[in-house]
Structure 1
Amino acid sequence: MGIRPLNHLMYVWPYFSNTKLFIMRVFELNGTPRTELGKKACKTMRKENLIPCVIYGGKENINFTVTQSAIRKLIYTPEIFEVKLTIGKQTMKAILKEVQYHSVSDNILHVDFIEVDDKKPILFRVPIKTEGLAVGVRAGGKISLEMRKLKIKALCKDIPSSLTINVENLEIGKSIKAGDLSFPNIQIMDNKESLVVCVKSTRAAKDAAATTEAAAK
């Protein structure tokens, strides 16, 4: 049980800034089938440090439980994992879909998984990361990540744990939109005009520009 590392495959795709993606690692998780449903049954499970879960997408929905300790590393991380889920005698490939938390305590109440088919693409939101010091930042601007995740469509084997965008060539006032990005075997589903990252002007940048302009006269 836990994380089984895969080779971190990196792709560099041509754009005025480089983009990279890292393939998901595999998280192994064991669950126990459950037949008792409803709020009262779920409340009892939580008192025993068990988390009620369900997996959709297969021939039938399967209700099961996992321990708090077993699932924490899957939930409390910005990464996306391919989940090798074993419930009783069944083993299947899944992806974490949704986590429900208590409104006050933030304790985990319920977890939803989706069973994936290697031959069918799925829709998923993948975290975005930036790397590099933008030209515009060196000139006094401020980098602004306008989108935290990109909505993509891909086969499970091609879904990355994160998408990294190199912003070194980004100048003040310039931006990267969803339509500017491209990754192998991945279709970006967000609006092409959606702003992903930009460099905004600051007071310091404006003062520096004014000083440069005055010196040139």
Structure 2
Amino acid sequence: MNTITIEGELRSEFGKKATRQLRSEEKVPCVIYGGAEVVSFSAPAKSFKNLVYTSAFQVAEIKLGAKTYRAVMKDLQFDVVTDELSHIDFMELVEDKPVAVTLPIKLVGQSVGVKAGGKLVTKLKALKVIALPKHLVENIEVSIDNLELNGNIRVEDVKVEGITITNSPRIPIASVVMTRQLRQEEATAEKDAKKK
């Protein structure tokens, strides 16, 4: 799994003035919770770029002095005026403690419905899951090989060992719809069949 290393420093001062000072130095105030202690730190805004501006699921390795924390992003806040990153909450990954995260879906294979002339429509790009840190994966692979024309793959069709999916089971992930050209070809074939 992709891991991004972030080097930060523990925060000793809090409040609006201290936070404003950090932001003026282009640093982002952050907090790590979920472990034995709540840790407040700051790090340069540019060090979060590859973690924040991506749809990929990644683990952050946060180095604060001699200690390193493995964590996942839980919440982001942006400045309403400048749109700059203003705060991040991280959830520490603790070995025996399940964590709730959102994992991207990766569709794999060749749909039989697409081969028959249909069009693949992606309806869901990520799944909400609960899993132990050791079961976390970069993405959830969903095979579309057996997806037929006018067929759906739903959340309930996805099974991943060690991961509990919390989305509603009936939500479609992907479907193959009939293209206009295919509809026209079928209509023409029907007319021709009636003429005979």
TM-score of the two chains, using structure 2 as the length reference: 0.89
Which among 27, 43, 61 is matched to residue 20 of structure 2? 43
Deviation string, structure 1 residues 89-121 (Cα, Å, up to 9, x no partner): 322221111221223432111111011211121
Structure 1 residues 132 and 41 mapped into 2: Cα distance closer, same or farther (>3 Å)?
same
SS of 1:32's equivalent in the other structure is strand
Q: Which residue of 2 aligns with 1:90?
A: 67
Residue segments in structure 1 that go unaligned for 5+ positions in a row: 1-23
Q: Which has the larger radius of gyration?
A: 2
Percent of pairs with identical residues: 34
Structure 1 residues 123 and 96 mapped into 2: Cα distance closer, same or farther (>3 Å)?
same
1:43 Cα shift? Answer: 2.1
**AA partner of residue 182 (structure 1):** K
Q: Which residue of 1 aligns with 2:183?
A: 206
Answering whether residue 83 of structure 2 is matched by residue 101 of structure 1, we say no
**AA partner of residue 194 (structure 1):** I
Which among 99, 106, 114 is matched to residue 129 of structure 1? 106
Aligned-pair RMSD on alpha carbons?
1.9
Which among 137, 149, 159 is matched to residue 160 of structure 1? 137
Higher relative contact order (CA 8 A, sep 6+): 1
Distance 2:143 2:190 in 1: 30
Distance 2:12 2:107 in 1: 45
Distance 2:191 2:113 in 1: 20
Q: Which structure 1 residue ranges, 4+ long, deviate > 4 Å from structure 2?
A: none
TM-score of the two chains, using structure 1 as the length reference: 0.81
| 1:177/1:197 contact within 8 Å kept | yes
